[in-house]
Amino acid sequence: MDSCRIPANASKCSGNTMECFMVLSTQAQKISIGILCGLFGTMCVFENSLVLYLIFSSPGIRKKPSYLFIGSLALADILASIIFVCSFVNFHVFNEVGFSKEVFLLQLGGVNTSFSASLSSLLLTALDRYISISRPSEYKLLMTRKRAWTALAVLWVTCATIAGLPLLGWNCCALDSACSELFPFVDDNYLSGWVCFVLVLLGCIVYAYAHVLWRARQHVAYMEKHQAQAGKQNSRMRMDVMLAKTLVMVLAVLMLCWSPVLVLMIYSIFGRLSDRLRKVFAFCSTLCLLNSMVNPIIYALRSKELFSSLRRVWSHFRRQLKAPEESPEAESTHKSSVIET
């Protein structure tokens, strides 16, 4: 096992190498991973699908760039959940190795694209709030729907390109270079570059949120000082402050869920990972699913527009359920049963 754990040259890229990355040794560990992936993945797909439906079924909401970015985040989380759960469970739980290097790198590229797009969508959301609070009078001119869609297109193309580099040739088999201890066929230098890309995204998000919070605090102080003044400006400020706090909650969850994975990735680049740490990495990977599952819950609880849309959908659903009971046929049946009684 030790010789397999250090895939340092191209000869290590044989089909048998795949088995060296299957770190779950007991049935209990495989069942635990399967349950976590099944639970988090199912809830993530359901919740984010609901968010997408609420956004794009409401004309007033889907016209706002803020919710286009949130919709992109939800879509990325859905794709990440489906691709990650299917490939992760297939590999670690069912120990399936009957696929080629290209197929594995394609699956890994799909996971990386989705998770990178999720982080990038959160960055666009943070920048949207940054512009909204720092330049409120120019916001509608600066952040148009056309620019929002263009930014999303650039985001997804960039993430897909970066994630597809191993499949296009930047892998340790083609380059005869040092392979990662965490991912089969992945070059250590590529992993370093991807981690740096993620850290840059997180750094930009933190910077944007720091400014948003600073301006939000100024707005709160302003509102407390001018409580007697009521109008659209105060209402807009309250909305900005609420959304800023919501996105900070999303960022806090993001950091808690991604930090263990990133720390272990960085450690694997500079040092040797024990079997125990590689098992810890496998379990920590499911925290990325947890992050994708928690985001929609925060939106539903904190966004008044999404919550109002959810209430409308729920009320419509309840009326649909009550409609058969209140139909003439049901009423006639009820009356006849009463007469017979």
Contact in structure between 33 and 283 (CB atoms under 8 Å): yes
Kindly give the residue spans of alpha helices, DSSP state H, lying in the chain. 17-20, 27-56, 59-62, 65-92, 101-134, 139-142, 145-163, 165-168, 172-175, 188-225, 232-270, 275-302, 304-325, 328-340
Give the pLDDT of residue 254: 80
Contact in structure between 314 and 322 (CB atoms under 8 Å): no
| Domain map (residue ranges) of the chain | 25-307
**pLDDT tens sequence across 124-139:** 988 888 888 878 888 8
Distance CA 105, CA 33 (A): 22
Give the pLDDT of residue 288: 86
- On the question of pLDDT at 6 being above 50, the answer is no
- On the question of pLDDT at 110 being above 60, the answer is yes
Distance CA 154, CA 59 (A): 24
Q: Which residue has the higher pLDDT, 197 or 11?
A: 197
Express as a percent the part of the chain with pLDDT over 90: 24
pTM: 0.81
Task: Give the Cα-Cα-Cα angle 75, 78, 81 (nearest 5 degrees).
Answer: 150
Distance CA 150, CA 28 (A): 47
Contact in structure between 213 and 244 (CB atoms under 8 Å): yes
Q: Which residue has the higher pLDDT, 267 or 341?
A: 267
Contact in structure between 112 and 150 (CB atoms under 8 Å): no
CA distances from 123 to 65, 132, 208, 240 (A): 13, 14, 8, 17
CA distances from 112 to 67, 72, 258 (A): 23, 15, 13
- The architecture CATH gives domain 25-307: Up-down Bundle (1.20)
Contact in structure between 66 and 128 (CB atoms under 8 Å): yes
Reported as a pLDDT band with limits 50, 70 and 90, residue 236 is low
**pLDDT tens sequence across 138-174:** 888 888 899 999 999 999 999 999 999 999 989 888 8
Give the pLDDT of residue 166: 92
- On the question of pLDDT at 330 being above 80, the answer is no
